[in-house]
């Protein structure tokens, strides 16, 4: 039987997300998906979900939710402030909420926190995904951020054993991130000075950054001429005419016309989804083979609950 | 399969088939996409054609960009349908006024009247090169050099759905409300994308040819009501 979580207060920008919508980018449907996919996966694992299940993504100020039935929940983030019925609860572990309980997430800690519920958030999948595509206006709840009064369907599940995260997977706030990156498809269009500037400088995240991308301030690079629009991976470090880099997050558009100097490695991409305006970031160039191997090992480990979860 | 450049990424690849906005090059991009799509390679999440490039997104676990390059290297050149697969689509547009706030400035910059700009825009048959940016946004070209103008220096925060814009030699219609920097010269009452249980239905497909014709504001209102009723 299906029940529904009631949204009492939506928070600043709260939306249903999963790993993303793939297979439709050629029609202009963005991949969307959680900005911090590592936290999404960990949250799902803590409540025994498939990693592809949908969760609630909260940005800066989270929601207030009423649960219709007893269920297991996990809030994953960098030290978020969370309470059930006004009493503080622990994040980054499985917790149990009862029918009628009110979960409040006034602060996400870093930029985002994820609320996973056993069985997943069962909004209707659109084009194979429950992710909210805010630009295309599809997925999640009516293709938009949550509002007060929205109902999020969930299913009854028998409680499983509760878990916490192994220490190396505990989310940590990184206000001075070093992101590894490989050379981008247009790296050759940039001067040696520009590439040295990109990989030898500290940049500061600007207001106006969102789930589509981070706008950075720092030494301006010499912008090359624009390119013909083409597909673009999450993590692309593109240089617009201002010379100030923009790093694309999973919620990016399907195509873009700015040259891509570098692409952030998947291992470090989730950390970018946790940066706030004022945080700083620098880039470290790594070789392609090294990045591919490190990325594979990281994925194999992340997707294996026996290597991410620890007994409570 | 021949290509001009293959850029390897950690979980993606870009294959380039030439340079410039050119229908011949673009047909090769789509033929390559169709060939790879038909192969159903494990680990390929998306195949996204651009003007000259095919972007391939990978899950990074099963298949690497290097694997894809080895596969592409072994493939024969796909057959190209010279006639093109698409159909001719007529699109009504109400030009200027509140529907196309950049028409007058664009005409002034180009030393012509708004009427001249409309006539030149309607005189051409455009090719749909690919879809992207937002659901159902078709990149079309090529716009007559005399009315080809760069994007706005500062993009608009919100462009209404149906707006017709020019960016350089490209023209396109915003299918949903979104930010955008193209010069807006008019608006169509047609819906570019309709979501249905069977999947999205797109008014335009890559390979289609498009002709625009000018309609009055009254006609625009009538057709918009008709579209909404369907």
Same domain, B150 and B47: no
Confidence band of B153 (pLDDT split at 50, 70, 90)? confident
Can you give the CATH number for the domain in which B152 is found? Answer: 2.40.100.10
**Greater model confidence, B230 or B227:** B227
Mutate to test the interface with B, among A18, A22, A27 (most CBs of B within 10 A): A27
Confidence band of B84 (pLDDT split at 50, 70, 90)? low
* Chain B CA closest to residue A208: B157
Pick left, alpha or beta for residue A20 (phi over 0 → left; psi -120 to 50 → alpha; otherwise beta): left
Same domain, B66 and B150: no
* B34 CB within 8 Å of a chain A CB: no
Confirm whether B83 is domain-assigned. no
Contacts of residue A232 in chain B, CB cutoff 8 Å?
55
pLDDT digits (tens, 9 = 90+) for A11-54: 999 999 999 999 999 999 999 999 999 999 999 999 999 999 99
Confidence band of A84 (pLDDT split at 50, 70, 90)? very high
Contacts of residue A24 in chain B, CB cutoff 8 Å?
46, 200
Same domain, B163 and B66: no
pLDDT at position B230 over 90: no
Q: Model ipTM?
A: 0.96
DSSP secondary structure letter of residue B8: E
B134/A253 CB distance under 8 A? yes
Confirm whether B159 is domain-assigned. yes
In this prediction, residue B229 carries a pLDDT of 77
Same domain, B98 and B210: yes
* B174 CB within 8 Å of a chain A CB: no
pLDDT at position B85 over 70: no
Contacts of residue A25 in chain B, CB cutoff 8 Å?
46, 48, 57, 132
Question: Structure pTM?
Answer: 0.95
- For chain A, the structural domain boundaries read 2-169, 176-302
Same domain, B138 and B170: yes
Confirm whether B147 is domain-assigned. yes
- Residues A226 and A232: their CA atoms lie apart, in Å, by 14
Confirm whether B32 is domain-assigned. yes
Confirm whether B31 is domain-assigned. yes
Confirm whether B15 is domain-assigned. yes
Given the structure tokens 């006024």, which residue do they identify? B97
Binding-face residues of A in 204-243 toward B, CB within 8 A: 228-233
Same domain, B130 and B211: yes
Which H or E element spans position B171?
strand B170-173
Total of domains in chain B: 2
In this prediction, residue A1 carries a pLDDT of 62
Contacts of residue B10 in chain A, CB cutoff 8 Å?
182, 263, 265-266, 288, 291-292, 295
* Chain B CA closest to residue A241: B153
Beta strand B209-214 with B88-95 is: parallel
Same domain, B56 and B92: no
* A22 CB within 8 Å of a chain B CB: yes
- pLDDT over 70 percentage in chain B: 98
Domain extent for B28: 5-74
Average pLDDT over residues A76-97: 97
- Closest residue to B139, CB basis, from A135, A229, A296: A229
* B136 CB within 8 Å of a chain A CB: yes
pLDDT at position B197 over 90: no
pLDDT at position A162 over 90: yes
Same domain, B92 and B67: no
In this prediction, residue B109 carries a pLDDT of 93
Can you give the CATH number for the domain in which B31 is found? Answer: 3.30.1360.40
Same domain, B69 and B92: no
Cα distances (Å, whole numbers) of residue A203 to A111, A154, A214, A259: 17, 41, 11, 18
A27/B135 CB distance under 8 A? yes
Of B74, B105, B127, the position where a domain reaches its end is: B74
Average pLDDT over residues B6-16: 98
Q: Look over chain A and give the mean of its residue pLDDT values, rounded to a whole number.
A: 96
- Residues A111 and A211: their CA atoms lie apart, in Å, by 10
pLDDT digits (tens, 9 = 90+) for A89-112: 999 999 999 999 999 999 999 999
pLDDT at position B199 over 90: no
Contacts of residue A22 in chain B, CB cutoff 8 Å?
45-46, 57
pLDDT digits (tens, 9 = 90+) for B98-141: 999 999 999 999 999 999 999 999 999 999 999 999 999 999 99
pLDDT digits (tens, 9 = 90+) for B19-37: 999 999 999 999 999 999 9
Mutate to test the interface with B, among A37, A228, A236, A297 (most CBs of B within 10 A): A228
- Closest residue to B133, CB basis, from A228, A254, A292: A254
3-class secondary-structure state, position A266: coil
Same domain, B57 and B141: no
Confidence band of B196 (pLDDT split at 50, 70, 90)? confident
3-class secondary-structure state, position A290: helix
pLDDT digits (tens, 9 = 90+) for A243-297: 999 999 999 999 999 999 999 999 999 999 999 999 999 999 999 999 999 999 9
Confirm whether B178 is domain-assigned. yes
* Chain A CA closest to residue B64: A292
Confidence band of B62 (pLDDT split at 50, 70, 90)? confident
CATH architecture classification, A176-302: Beta Barrel (2.40)
Largest CA distance in chain A: 62
* B220 CB within 8 Å of a chain A CB: no
* b/e code A117-153 from CB counts within 10 Å (16+ = b): bbbbbbbeebbebbbbbbbbbbbbbebebbeeebebe
Nearest to A13, CA basis, from A113, A88, A121, A119: A113
In this prediction, residue A108 carries a pLDDT of 97
Same domain, B113 and B200: yes
Of B20, B52, B74, the position where a domain reaches its end is: B74
Same domain, B140 and B225: yes
pLDDT digits (tens, 9 = 90+) for A169-195: 999 988 789 999 999 999 999 999 999
Confirm whether B81 is domain-assigned. no
Nearest to B86, CA basis, from B226, B223, B229, B211: B211
Cα–chain center distance at B35: 21
């Amino acid at each position: 039987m299906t029940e529904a979580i009631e949204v009492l207060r939506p928070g600043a920008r709260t939306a249903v997300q999963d790993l993303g919508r793939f297979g439709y980018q050629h029609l202009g449907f963005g991949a969307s998906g959680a900005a911090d996919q590592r936290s999404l996966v960990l949250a799902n694992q803590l409540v025994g979900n498939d990693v592809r299940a949908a969760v609630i993504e909260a940005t800066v100020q989270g929601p207030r939710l009423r649960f219709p039935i007893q269920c297991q929940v996990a809030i994953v983030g960098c030290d978020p402030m969370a309470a059930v019925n006004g009493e503080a609860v622990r994040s980054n572990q499985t917790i149990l909420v009862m029918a009628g309980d009110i979960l409040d997430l006034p602060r996400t800690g870093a930029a985002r926190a994820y609320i996973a519920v056993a069985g997943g958030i069962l909004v209707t999948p659109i084009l194979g995904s429950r992710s909210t595509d805010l630009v295309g206006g599809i997925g999640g709840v009516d293709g938009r951020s949550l509002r007060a009064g929205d109902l999020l369907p969930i299913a009854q599940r028998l409680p499983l054993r509760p878990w916490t995260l192994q220490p190396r997977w505990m989310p940590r706030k990184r206000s001075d991130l070093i992101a590894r990156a490989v050379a981008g498809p247009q790296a050759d269009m940039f001067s040696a000075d520009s590439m040295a500037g990109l990989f030898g400088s500290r940049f500061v995240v600007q207001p106006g950054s969102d789930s589509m991308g981070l706008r950075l301030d720092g030494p301006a690079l010499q912008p090359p001429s624009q390119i013909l629009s083409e597909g673009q991976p999450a993590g692309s470090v593109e240089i617009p005419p201002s010379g100030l880099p923009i790093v694309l997050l999973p919620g990016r558009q399907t195509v873009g016309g700015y040259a891509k100097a570098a692409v952030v490695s998947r291992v470090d991409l989730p950390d970018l989804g946790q940066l706030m305006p004022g945080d700083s970031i620098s880039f470290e160039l790594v070789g392609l083979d090294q990045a591919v191997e490190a990325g594979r090992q990281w994925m194999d480990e992340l997707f294996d609950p026996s290597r991410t979860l620890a007994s409570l | 399969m021949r290509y001009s450049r293959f850029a390897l990424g950690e979980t993606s690849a870009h294959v380039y088939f030439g340079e410039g906005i050119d229908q011949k090059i673009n047909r090769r991009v789509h033929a390559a996409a169709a060939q790879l799509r038909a192969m159903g390679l494990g680990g390929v999440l998306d195949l996204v054609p651009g003007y000259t490039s095919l972007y391939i997104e990978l899950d990074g676990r099963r298949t690497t960009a290097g694997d894809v390059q080895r596969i592409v290297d072994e493939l024969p050149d796909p057959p190209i349908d010279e006639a093109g697969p698409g159909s001719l689509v007529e699109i009504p547009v109400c030009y200027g006024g509140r529907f196309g706030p950049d028409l007058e400035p664009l005409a002034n910059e180009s030393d012509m009247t708004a009427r001249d700009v409309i006539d030149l825009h309607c005189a051409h048959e455009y090719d749909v090169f690919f879809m992207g940016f937002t659901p159902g946004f078709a990149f079309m070209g090529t716009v007559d050099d005399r009315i080809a103008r760069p994007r706005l220096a500062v993009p608009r925060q919100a462009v209404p759905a149906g707006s017709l814009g020019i960016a350089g030699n490209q023209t396109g219609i915003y299918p949903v409300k979104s930010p955008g920097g193209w010069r807006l010269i008019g608006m169509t009452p047609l819906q570019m994308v309709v979501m249905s249980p069977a999947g999205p239905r797109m008014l335009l497909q890559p390979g289609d040819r498009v002709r625009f014709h000018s309609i009055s504001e009254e006609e625009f209102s009538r057709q918009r009501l008709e579209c909404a009723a369907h």
